[in-house]
Structure 1
Amino acid sequence: MRENGGVTSASPRPWTSASPTLPTRLIATDLDGTLLRDDKSVSPRTVAALAAAEAAGIAVFFVTGRPARWMDVVSAVLHGHGTAICGNGAAVVDLHGGPTAPRFLTVRELAAPLALGVVETLRKVAPGTSFAVERTGGLHHEAAYPPLQLDLAESVAPAEKLLAPGTDAADQPVLKLLAHHPGLAPDVFLALARAAVGEDRANITRSSPTALLEISGPGVSKASTLELCCAEQGISPAEVVAFGDMPNDIEMLDWAGTSYAMGNAHPDVLAAASHLTTGNNDDGVATVIERILAER
Structure 2
Amino acid sequence: MAAPTAYSLVATDLDGTLLRGDDTLSHRSRSALARVTAAGARHLVVTGRPAPRVRPLLRDLGCTGLAVCGQGAQVYDAGADRLLWSVTLDRELAETALGKIEAEVGEVYAAVDQDGVDGLTLIEPGYVMPHPTLPAVRVGRRDDLWAEPISKVLLRHAELSDDELAATARAVVGDLATVTMSGPGTVELQPCGVTKATGLALAAEHLGLRADRAVAFGDMPNDIPMFRWAAHGVAMANAHPELKAVADEITLSNEDDGIAAVLDRLFP
Q: 1:206 aligns with which of 170, 173, 181?
A: 181
Runs of at least 4 residues off by over 6 Å: none
Task: Give the Å deviation of 1:205.
Answer: 0.8
Conservation of the 8 A alpha-carbon contact between 2:20 and 2:254 = yes
Matched position secondary structure for 2:98: helix
Aligned residue runs from structure 1 range 206-225, under 5 A: 206-210=181-185, 212-225=186-199
Matched position secondary structure for 1:204: strand
Give the 3 Å change call, closer, same or farther, for CA 231–95 of structure 1 in structure 2.
closer
Aligned residue runs from structure 1 range 1-296, under 5 A: 23-71=6-54, 72-79=56-63, 81-96=64-79, 102-136=81-115, 137-148=119-130, 149-151=132-134, 153-154=136-137, 156-163=139-146, 167=147, 170=148, 173-198=149-174, 200-210=175-185, 212-294=186-268
Q: 1: distance between equivalents of 2:142 and 2:192?
A: 19
Conservation of the 8 A alpha-carbon contact between 2:180 and 2:221 = yes
Paired AA for residue 84 in structure 1: A
Matched position secondary structure for 2:176: coil
Task: Give the Å deviation of 1:96.
Answer: 3.7
Q: 2: distance between equivalents of 1:188 and 1:155?
A: 26
Give the 3 Å change call, closer, same or farther, for CA 162–57 of structure 1 in structure 2.
same
Matched position secondary structure for 1:70: helix
Q: 1: distance between equivalents of 2:97 and 2:127?
A: 16
Q: 1: distance between equivalents of 2:98 and 2:16?
A: 29
Task: Give the Å deviation of 1:150.
Answer: 4.7
Conservation of the 8 A alpha-carbon contact between 1:110 and 1:217 = yes
Determine the structure 2 residue equivalent to 1:9: none
Give the 3 Å change call, closer, same or farther, for CA 30–150 of structure 1 in structure 2.
closer
Task: Give the Å deviation of 1:287.
Answer: 1.6
Superposed CA deviations along residues 139-182 of structure 1, whole A, max 9, x for unmatched, are 2222122244355544614334532xxx4xx3xx3111111111
Task: Give the Å deviation of 1:129.
Answer: 0.4
Task: Give the Å deviation of 1:289.
Answer: 1.5
Matched position secondary structure for 2:68: strand
Q: 1: distance between equivalents of 2:129 and 2:210?
A: 40
- Give the percent of matched residue pairs that are identical in Structure 1 and Structure 2: 39
Q: 2: distance between equivalents of 1:34 and 1:228?
A: 22
Paired AA for residue 67 in structure 1: P
Choose between structure 1 and 2 for higher RCO, CA contacts under 8 A separated by at least 6 residues.
Answer: 1
Matched position secondary structure for 1:207: strand
Give the 3 Å change call, closer, same or farther, for CA 267–147 of structure 1 in structure 2.
closer
Note the residue ranges of structure 1 that are not aligned, 5 or more in a row.
Answer: 1-21
Matched position secondary structure for 2:267: helix
Paired AA for residue 208 in structure 2: G
Give the 3 Å change call, closer, same or farther, for CA 289–35 of structure 1 in structure 2.
same
Q: 1: distance between equivalents of 2:39 and 2:194?
A: 31
Task: Give the Å deviation of 1:233.
Answer: 2.8
Task: Give the Å deviation of 1:281.
Answer: 1.4
Q: TM-score, normalised by structure 2?
A: 0.90
Task: Give the Å deviation of 1:235.
Answer: 2.1
Matched position secondary structure for 1:162: helix
Conservation of the 8 A alpha-carbon contact between 1:85 and 1:91 = yes
Q: TM-score, normalised by structure 1?
A: 0.82
Q: CA RMSD in A?
A: 1.9
Is 247-256 or 232-241 further displaced after alignment?
232-241
